[in-house]
A = this chain, B = another copy of it.
Amino acid sequence: MNNLDSALQYTAKNRQKFIKDLNELLAIPSISADTNGKPAMENAARWIEKSLQNNNFDTVKIYQTAGNPVVYGEKKTGKKNAQTILFYGHYDVQPVEPLGEWESEPFEGVVRGDYLFARGASDMKGQYIACLKAIESILSTGELPVNVKFILEGEEEIGSPNLEDFLKQHADLLKCDVVVNPDTGMIAPDVPTITYGLRGLAYFELRVYGPSSDLHSGVFGGVVHNPGQALCELIAGMHSSDMKVTLPGFYDDVRPLPASERAELNRLPVSDQDYLDQTGAPALWGEDGYTPTERLGARPTLEVNGLYSGYIEAGAKTVLPSYAMAKISMRLVPDQDPQKVYDSLHLYLKQNAPETIRWELVNMSGAPACITNRDLPAVQAMSRAMERIWGKTPVFRRDGGSVPVVTHMQEILGVDSILTGFGLPDDHIHAPNERLHLPTWEKGIQVLICFLFNLAE
């Protein structure tokens, strides 16, 4: 049996052990948005460190940053002139609210049917473990065909505020031929997917202030502008009736979609009904003139991520609130600039906010969109690996999400990222009952093994 086949066999035999190890990592509540969560972040970083040490990595180190630590690991192959692959991942997860909607504890991995349920199972502790277990499978049965490096950050879910600096300070350490970033998923269990484009992100908090303190709505209703209402009016005005974003100049820099790429994108085996099934929405919605797939991957959007004003507990309180807040974010496409998007929103507010309220716009995070060359040898090696394991060539798509690190890798390290991953659209990431489809995940581990061997051919 050759080295590749032995490694694949090891994977097949160790299913339960792999899940057990993943469950250990899932049990650590590493919510980066939780300002009281520092100890959990440290625990998660140490767990990652240990997991690399257990595989006899040459170097494993935790680097402190201004925020959460970065874990780095490196293992060289004995083979000459071997390529170096950098695996990127993040060990932080999204908050778990609303807790009441979880069917099992968010930080206790539970298998039900083909799925493993827990916060982070799909996004992306499960993806890190897939990479780790691919390496373990190879090392347990032979030698690595290429050099591998790992970088795991703990702030992806809050916009990676310290990663850019880290990459700049450690550019030599992180030198590599290509990055594998398994933080994007697949379209369906039978559709292996490589993502070559990602949307960027600009995230804001809009605060609207009315009277200097909460008022009695009977005593003052009718003489001051309700900031909750004013906020709604501002947000309502951000979309036109054809569902385009109205912010001045918002579409100015948007790279148009060539007809050939539109044709390719619309070959993706996803129907309107699929989107309805995945979301449970009563009907689809979105910018006139584009298909859902185009809107998701290649068109910018504006979303309300949070709304707050006044009294929101059970029952009735006749308050005229002094304050209202919205979290608002935009998904960006090439060549939109997050700073210009901020300017655009700011100008909209300047032009549209009435004098009856005060407002403040907080710029929380921003990253441009990015796109990867589909002809890269490493991309082709991944494509062939998927073909071997799934028996079909992968589809290439542009993803609606944002992975700022991909842009940073390109700008700072000068390397492209292969964007893949073994999560599915209905994994409920960022939502209650997040889950991982185990059969797909196991195929993913096998794909990663094949990919590494393909690189050495």
Contacts and interface: CB of A to CB of B under 8 A. Distances in A.
A295 B221 CA distance: 8
Contacts of A94: 317
Contacts of A301: 217, 221-222
Interface in A212-254: 212-226, 228-229, 231-233, 235-239
Interface residues of A, number: 99
Given A214-B430, A239-B229, A295 B331 contact: no
Contacts of A295: 222-223
From A35, A221, A299, A314, name the one whose CB has the most chain B CB atoms within 10 angstroms. Answer: A221
B428 A213 contact: yes
B327 A281 contact: no
A14 interface: no
B159 A284 contact: no
B310 A317 contact: no
A347 to B, nearest CB: 20
Interface in A298-336: 299, 301, 303-322, 324-327, 329, 331
Given A356-B283, A431-B215, A95 B223 contact: no
Contacts of A433: 213
Contacts of A337: none
Contacts of A327: 310-312, 316-317
A69 interface: no
Nearest to A101: B213
A306 B329 contact: no
B281 A217 contact: no
A149 interface: no
Interface string A190-202: 0000000001010
A256 B51 CA distance: 77
A364 interface: yes
A236 B229 CA distance: 7
A316 B233 CA distance: 22
A217 B303 contact: yes
A158 interface: yes
A432 interface: yes
A400 interface: yes
A400 B331 contact: no
A162 B213 CA distance: 31
From A223, A236, A315, name the one whose CB has the most chain B CB atoms within 10 angstroms. Answer: A223
A127 interface: no
A357 interface: yes
Interface in A142-171: 157-159
B214 A432 contact: yes
Given A232-B307, A305-B321, 7 more contacts: A281-B356, A283-B355, A305-B311, A306-B319, A307-B310, A310-B327, A318-B430
9 residue pairs, one from A and one from B, having the closest CB atoms: A212-B280, A218-B401, A228-B304, A236-B236, A225-B285, A222-B295, A232-B235, A232-B232, A307-B309
9 contacts: A33-B317, A95-B311, A157-B317, A216-B401, A223-B275, A229-B238, A305-B316, A305-B320, A319-B430
